[in-house]
Structure 1
Amino acid sequence: MCGRFTQYRSREAYLEAFGDRPEREIAYDPEPVGRYNVAPGTRVLLLNERDRALHLDPVQWGYSPVWWHKQPLINAKSETAATGKMFKPLWQSGRAIVMADGWYEWKRDGKVKQPYFIYHQNGGPLFFAAIGKAPFDKEDENEGFVIVTAASDKGLLDIHDRRPLVLTPEAALGWMSQDTTPAQASEIAHDGTVPAGDFAWHPVTKAVGNVKNQGADLIDEI
């Protein structure tokens, strides 16, 4: 699953991965976002396409439609989200991207749980597939978003059996595109992911378990 991640680069650093494509309606801002411990229930900068242009909107992480009377959901499985009652409408018209640098997972060793920070080996930005209640610029109508997850494989299985569905920049553009059909989005979710072998990870401080802790030292290897 994905229960915490980082979004600390500047928006420009993330958007550079897409080159000049496509048109964007996003104000230039070179300042780092600076979030080293993004938690559910907080607003997250969510990349999405509207009117054939990219937009960046602050949207709450956690999906809770008006008829849902339980805790907001924060993840959706890629294997079932496209067809299940809860997420099918979001898969059809609410596909978006969470720009990130890495995510945290806790590995249990006996009675002890050790957090790990997982990131791309080349240090580059990551693009998590997400789905939510569009349009994302209408705060009063928005019901939040969830991060799409996939089954882990290779070495990542040693940390956790699920991981965020991380897309390549090209696949991320296709995922968000208004021209992409739900069936094509399913193909992207299957074929456009970053391989598990491209990730690295290391143990980090247990201070990441407290959402009040937000310093850059949270991602340092211990």
Structure 2
Amino acid sequence: MCGRYALYEPVDQVAQRIGYPVRSSESLPGNGYNIPPGGFIVAVAAVDEKPEILPMWWGFRPHWAGEDAPEPINARAENVAGSNFFKGSFARHRCIIPANGWFEWRQNNGDKQPFYIHHRDGDLLLMAGIFTTDEDGNPACCILTEDARGPAKDIHPRMPVVLGEGVEIWLDPETHDRETLKRKVKHLSPDRLCFRPVSARVNNPRNDDEDVLKEVS
């Protein structure tokens, strides 16, 4: 799964690195080292015509679902195309969530050891997501997950879907065909990922500083 991540680079630098502009009419949330769900995050989507960087609420609840409906932060990639809750967004409202890395917890004799997973070369990770419009009229998203691959398998059975090729196809709302997406959108090779154990300080999202990324023995 993906329940906590880091995006600590300034948004203008993120825009330059990934090649998408910041939506001029939007006030973006501040980035952080320990970003939890249930708040606005930085995402990329073609909400109007062309993909732009804009804020999205991390928690997926369509306006038509009602306030008692669940508000998932993740969706299983294997199920989104057939789920009544997700399939409309998967067909037409896909997004990416840029990240410097994400956190995952490994079970260890009844304890949970947190790890920070990131690109071995320091590149941004582009996590695949889908979005909807919530009851307040805001875009609201969740991050797609899949069976863990590569080094991530040593930590947790699930991981976010991280895109490597075909990002422009993923963001194109005119591309609806699932087979086209499967053929042209490629995952980041798992050998580009690495991880390190970090302090349990990351367990508390109020600890939002670079120390949560430091390796511990």
Is residue 35 of structure 2 the alignment partner of residue 41 of structure 1?
A: no
Is residue 59 of structure 2 the alignment partner of residue 55 of structure 1?
A: no
Partner of 2:174: 179
Aligned length: 211
1:159 maps to which of 155, 160, 163: 155
Within 2, Cα distance between the matches of 1:18 and 1:132? 19
Within 2, Cα distance between the matches of 1:91 and 1:79? 11
Q: How does 1:29-178 map to 2 (within 5 A)?
A: 33-65=30-62, 66-67=65-66, 69=68, 71-134=70-133, 140-142=136-138, 144-168=140-164, 170-178=165-173
TM-superposed deviation, 1:64? 2.1
1:64 and 1:143 in contact (8 A); partners too: no
Deviations 1:55-86 (A, max 9, x none): 22221101123336254201011111111111
Is residue 186 of structure 2 the alignment partner of residue 192 of structure 1?
A: yes
TM-superposed deviation, 1:182? 3.9
TM-superposed deviation, 1:144? 1.7
* Percent pairwise identity: 29
Task: Quickly say closer, same or farther: Cα 1:184–1:46, change in 2 above 3 A.
Answer: farther
RMSD: 2.4
TM-superposed deviation, 1:157? 1.0
| Gapped regions of structure 2 (runs ≥ 5) | none
Within 1, Cα distance between the matches of 2:49 and 2:60? 25
Task: Quickly say closer, same or farther: Cα 1:130–1:59, change in 2 above 3 A.
Answer: same
Q: TM-score, normalised by structure 2?
A: 0.87
Partner of 1:6: 6
